[in-house]
Amino acid sequence: MGACAKNDRHLVPQDLGSGPSIQVYASITPDNDGLWSVDITTSELVHGLIFDRNTGDHRQKSWALDDSAFILERIDQKDIVKRQDGAVFNNLSAKITPYRDPIIKEYTLFGAFTNGADRVYAGQFRLSAVDADFFIMPTAQNLIFNPGNFDSFFGDNERRNGPYSLTSKSHQSDGYVIYGDVPVTELAGAKFMIDPGAPEWIATGVQNFMKSGSDYFEQMLGPATGPDILTLISFDPDETSSGVSIEGGVLADQVHFHISGSGLANPDPDVVNHFGWVAIHEAAHTWNAFGAYSPEYFFIDPNEPENVIADAQWLHEGGAEYLTYKAVIRRSLTSAEYADSRLTEFYDECVSALKRGPLNLAANENRFEDYYSCGMIIGLMTDAACRYSEIEYEDIWLRMLAKTGEDNRYGQELYFDALDECAMGADANRAIRQMATGSIEDPRIFLENAFDQLHVTIRTDRDYISFDPDFIRK
């Protein structure tokens, strides 16, 4: 995540458990050196995923806090943190054991914090990784401070809305805090917790965009099968910021957005369009992430890219982008010019991505952006291949999910099986498999030829690329 993020460049895991969220209680006390230490305990089980790198197996598991397989332990390593206002205290973090990931050393977790009558939304904090033989994805979401400790932690004169920055020896974590009660609003059964300082267009826009996108997804994919979603929105009117940052991400029962930058009181139309795109993308994940699950960012042997352990990121993230594009086009949710510019941007980015190597190696090389751009183009190839069969991309998703086993895990082979049912599915499969696992000498010519095989011409005779025939706007 970062300034001007396109959408949800999130590193949070998807939930694989069905039980309650972990309730974490942090008892915060100063030590003899005037620094802060934190005892973290819990009253709930922890639900998560274990991935065995030796066998490739993954399974769900629940742990109690005293189970040695999963530990959230006291912080006593004197990891110094300094806030922007000069206050110094120990970093509030959680140690996860065992854990190993050669790619992601830490990930960001968002949550709603509460202290009795006061509710605080904390923009983000990080859980650090330690080495072990197993990869564990906890699904903690709602964190609770013990009543009485919160005031002493921040101090009465620091109780204000605004951004904060926690800097430790390993990283800097920027976030946003809201003090006081933040009401939960509902729209068509969806729940929203919105920063009261956010401009009205953000508050109404996220609800309308997500509802409109969700209506389209439900029409095409059926009702969402995941848990009820709470959408959290924080707002930082940073007048010193250059540009606008719109960040989003998902947990199992939570969608979160953080909007910051200057000029947001009266935003440029492109900012509103961009915000709408991100909101609809996150809504799409309630269909393509929670109907069936695929572990994210798993290690893939760089010497054998065709031997995919988990290959669904161009389906998960790229699929959400393409579902967003279709919803935007079919329901006119942004301007047509903006949608065309996004398509052109993704096409050009995919060309660059394929120059860097196979999609299934992107995670190993920290190329997460490539999943979004090329996943979008793969969606276009799918619809192009299936248009004569009166089958659409959304139908391929449903057919793929119907092929999953007891573990509800989807991936490229199930996708290829479903795509084979289309009139030109074999042609599309050859191109997509090459994008995922092979090397491509000239990606731009490769994509032009791939669409030509699907009887589609890529037109570049105006500012934006387009497809002839236009099989999306129907």
Does residue 305 have a pLDDT over 80? no
Q: Name the most confidently modeled range: 2-6, 38-42, 261-265, 289-293.
A: 261-265
241 shares a domain with 161:
no
96 domain residue, yes or no: yes
Does residue 215 have a pLDDT over 80? yes
pTM of the predicted model as reported, rounded to 2 decimal places: 0.67
Dihedral angle over CA of 415, 284, 296, 414, nearest 10 = -10
Dihedral angle over CA of 342, 347, 352, 358, nearest 10 = 120
Q: Name the most confidently modeled range: 30-34, 84-88, 150-154, 186-190.
A: 186-190
pLDDT, one tens digit per residue, over 56-75 is 443 333 333 332 222 222 22
pLDDT band at 442 (very low <50, low <70, confident <90, very high): very high
421 shares a domain with 457:
yes
pLDDT band at 238 (very low <50, low <70, confident <90, very high): low
196 shares a domain with 284:
yes
Give the residue with greater pLDDT, 287 vs 175: 287
225 domain residue, yes or no: yes
Q: Contact 383/393 with Cβ under 8 angstroms?
A: yes
442 shares a domain with 426:
yes
pLDDT, one tens digit per residue, over 148-178 is 233 333 334 344 444 443 333 333 334 444 5
Peptide bond into 469 cis (omega under 30): yes
202 shares a domain with 97:
no
Which domain CATH number covers 276? 3.30.2010
Cα-Cα-Cα-Cα dihedral sign, residues 151, 155, 160, 161? negative
Give ∠ CA 358-391-405 in degrees, rounded to 5.
65
Contacts of 331 (CB under 8 A, 6+ apart): 212, 213, 215, 216
171 shares a domain with 32:
yes
pLDDT above 70 covers a percentage of the chain that reads: 52
Does residue 377 have a pLDDT over 90? yes
What local confidence, expressed as pLDDT, does residue 421 receive?
92
Give the residue with greater pLDDT, 474 vs 16: 474
Domain final residue, candidates 223, 254, 288: 288
pLDDT, one tens digit per residue, over 336-370 is 999 999 999 999 999 999 999 999 888 667 788 89
User: According to the 3-state scheme, what is the secondary structure of the chain?
Assistant: CCCCCCCCCCCCCCCCCCCCCCCEEEEEEECCCCCEEEEEEECCCEEEEEEECCCCCEEEEEECCCCCCCCCCCECCCCEEECCCCCEEECCCCECCCCCCCCCCEEEEEEEEEECCEEEEEEEEEEECCCCCEEEEECCCCEEECCCHHHHHHCHHHCCCEEEEEECCCCEEEEEEECCCCCEEEECCEEEEECCCCCHHHHHHHHHHHHHHHHHHHHHHCCCCCCCCEEEEEEECCCCCCCEEEEEEEECCEEEEEEEECCCCCCCHHHHHHHHHHHHHHHHHHHHCCCCECCCCCCCCCCCCCCCCCCCHHHHHHHHHHHHHHHHHHHCCCCHHHHHHHHHHHHHHHHHHHHHCCHHHCCCCCCCHHHHHHHHHHHHHHHHHHHHHCCCHHHHHHHHHHCCCCCCECCHHHHHHHHCCCCCHHHHHHHHHHHHHCCCCCHHHHHHHHHHHCCCEEECCCCCCEEECCCCCC
439 shares a domain with 404:
yes
Which residue range(s) make up the domain with 251? 184-288
5 domain residue, yes or no: no
Does residue 422 have a pLDDT over 70? yes
Give the residue with greater pLDDT, 196 vs 470: 470
Alpha-carbon distance of 381 to 384, in angstroms, equals: 5
Of the candidates 82, 83, 72, the residue with the CA atom closest to the CA atom of residue 109: 72
**In the chain, how many domains are there?**
3
249 shares a domain with 339:
no
Alpha-carbon distance of 224 to 222, in angstroms, equals: 7
Q: Which residue has the tokens 């949550």?
A: 111
Instruction: Show the tokens assigned to 291.
Output: 């109907």
41 domain residue, yes or no: yes
Give the residue with greater pLDDT, 9 vs 368: 368
Does residue 113 have a pLDDT over 80? no
Other CB atoms within a 10 A radius of the CB of residue 99 amount to 20
The average pLDDT across 5-28 equals 27
Q: Contact 81/166 with Cβ under 8 angstroms?
A: yes
Domain final residue, candidates 251, 272, 288: 288
Does residue 139 have a pLDDT over 90? no
294 domain residue, yes or no: no
What local confidence, expressed as pLDDT, does residue 126 receive?
29
Q: Please report, for residues 121, 180, 196, 272, the alpha-carbon distance to residue 185 in angstroms, rounded to integers and kept in the order given.
A: 15, 16, 12, 21
202 domain residue, yes or no: yes
441 domain residue, yes or no: yes
Contacts of 91 (CB under 8 A, 6+ apart): 75, 79, 80, 81, 166, 168
28 shares a domain with 165:
yes
Alpha-carbon distance of 302 to 190, in angstroms, equals: 42
192 shares a domain with 169:
no
Instruction: Show the tokens assigned to 352.
Output: 């660059």
Range scoring the smallest mean pLDDT among 158-172, 367-381, 405-419: 158-172
271 shares a domain with 198:
yes
Alpha-carbon distance of 166 to 86, in angstroms, equals: 10
pLDDT band at 405 (very low <50, low <70, confident <90, very high): confident
Give ∠ CA 466-328-6 in degrees, rounded to 5.
85
> What is the chain's mean pLDDT, rounded?
64
Alpha-carbon distance of 321 to 347, in angstroms, equals: 12
Alpha-carbon distance of 130 to 106, in angstroms, equals: 9
Peptide bond into 227 cis (omega under 30): no
pLDDT band at 254 (very low <50, low <70, confident <90, very high): low
pLDDT above 90 covers a percentage of the chain that reads: 30
Alpha-carbon distance of 177 to 420, in angstroms, equals: 50
11 domain residue, yes or no: no
282 shares a domain with 142:
no
